[in-house]
Amino acid sequence: MKFYCFKLKLIFEFTVEKLKLIMDYKVSSIEEYLAVIPFERKEILERLISILKEYFPEIKGTMEYRMPTYNPVCAIASQKNYVSFYVYNYAILNKYRGELGKLKVGKSCIRFRTMDQLPEKTIRKILSEVANKNS
């Protein structure tokens, strides 16, 4: 019984430390950011970055506001309970709001928890329209 409690304590301490690192975002590059976030979120962020680069092959990402940012298009963040995809063009995001179903959508962001919830088709439409508007 003591061993079990000790093991849980170690797991809890490790998880809390990793969570603090993620929440503090003491990283200076997107690669470092992707290395410290949980695997499930990393998979989602990498997929979003891959889709983004299909529409904007020359875009360079930077760390701004403690999240990967791709100016002037979007930013992506691993939050405590979900992934946020921030679209800088509010009007375009608003146009596709109805296609996002039950996902939580803010003024400029789409929030989802799992890869299954990733609205890839709609994100592609949004990015395509942003690309056309920026060209």
Which residues fall within 8 angstroms of residue 68, CB to CB, at 6 or more apart?
A: 30, 33, 45, 49, 61, 62, 75, 76, 77
Tell me if the pTM is above 0.85: no
| pLDDT, tens digit (0-9, with 9 covering 90-100), for 72-127 | 999 999 998 999 999 999 999 999 999 999 999 999 999 999 999 999 999 999 99
Between the alpha carbon of residue 63 and those of residues 26, 28, 66, 97, 116, the distances in Å are 11, 6, 6, 27, 26
Q: Find the helix packing angle between 120-134 and 39-55, rounded to 10°.
A: 40
- Is the model more confident about 4 or about 26? 26
Between the alpha carbon of residue 110 and those of residues 5, 17, 60, 120, the distances in Å are 39, 28, 22, 11
Name all domains of the chain by residue range, CATH numbers in brackets.
2-134 (3.90.1150.200)
User: Does residue 29 surpass a pLDDT of 90?
Assistant: yes
Determine what percent of the chain falls in helix, strand and coil, rounding each to the nearest 5.
Answer: 55, 15, 25
d(CA 2, CA 7): 9
Cβ atoms within 10 Å, residue 67: 19
User: What is the pLDDT at residue 23?
Assistant: 53
The answer to whether 127 and 51 have CB atoms below 8 angstroms apart is yes
